[in-house]
Amino acid sequence: MSPAQRIERSAIVSAAFEILDTEGFDRLTMRAVAARLGVRAASLYYHVANRNDLLRLVAEQVAVDATAGLGEAGEWRVLCTDICTRLRATLRAHPGATHVVAVNEVSPEVFERIVPVVLSAFHDGLAISDTDALYLVQSLYVLVAGLALAEFGNAPQPPAAPRDYYDAWFQLSVDTMLDGIRARFAR
C-alpha cells in the first residue's frame, strides 16, 4: 500500500491543527504536515492540492465544528449567540487556526445545512430578507473571527491580556451587534 493510500484527509487536517497550535501559522507547510504524519510531502498532494487547499480545509473544519449540533431553529438571538459562542470555543481549542479562519474563505457547501435553520429563526422573529439574514450571520462569524484574532492571533504565544478581558470584549461586541439587528429588523 502506498503512503498516498494510507493518509486520511482527517489526519491531514488534524496534523495541520497540531502544527498551527504548537508552532504557529508560519510553520504550517506541506512538508511539516508530511513529517508529522510520517510520510513524504509528495504523498500529500494526492489528497490536498497545495497549501492554500490545506488552509481552506482547516477553515472548513473550524466552521463544521462551530456549527455542529445546531438544532432546530429557535429564537434568532439564541441561535446567533450559540453560533458565536461555538466558533469562539472552537478557536480557543485551536488558537493557531484563528489566523487561517480570519483570512480564508469556506466553501458554501459547508454552511448549506444550517441555512434553513438560520432563515427559519430569523423569519420567526424579524422582518428580514433571506439575503440580509445570511449576510448578518456571516458578519457575526467575521466579528468573532476578528475578536479571536486579537486574542489568539499570536499562537502559540499566549494571549496578551487576561481571559476575562477577552470574554468581556466578546460579550459586549456580540450583544451590541445583536441589539442592532433587533433594532433594525424588529417586526
Higher pLDDT, 167 or 110: 167
Confirm if 145 and 98 have CB atoms less than 8 A apart. yes
Which residue's entry shows cell 482527517? 10
The average confidence (pLDDT) of the chain is 92
Q: Where are the domains of the chain?
A: 55-185
Q: What are the tens digits of pLDDT across the range 46-81?
A: 999 999 999 999 999 999 999 988 877 689 999 999
Task: Flag whether pLDDT at 144 surpasses 60.
Answer: yes
Query: What is the architecture, at CATH level 2, of domain 55-185?
Result: Orthogonal Bundle (1.10)
Q: What are the tens digits of pLDDT across the range 151-173?
A: 998 888 999 999 999 999 999 99
Give this prediction's pTM: 0.90
State the pLDDT at residue 1: 42
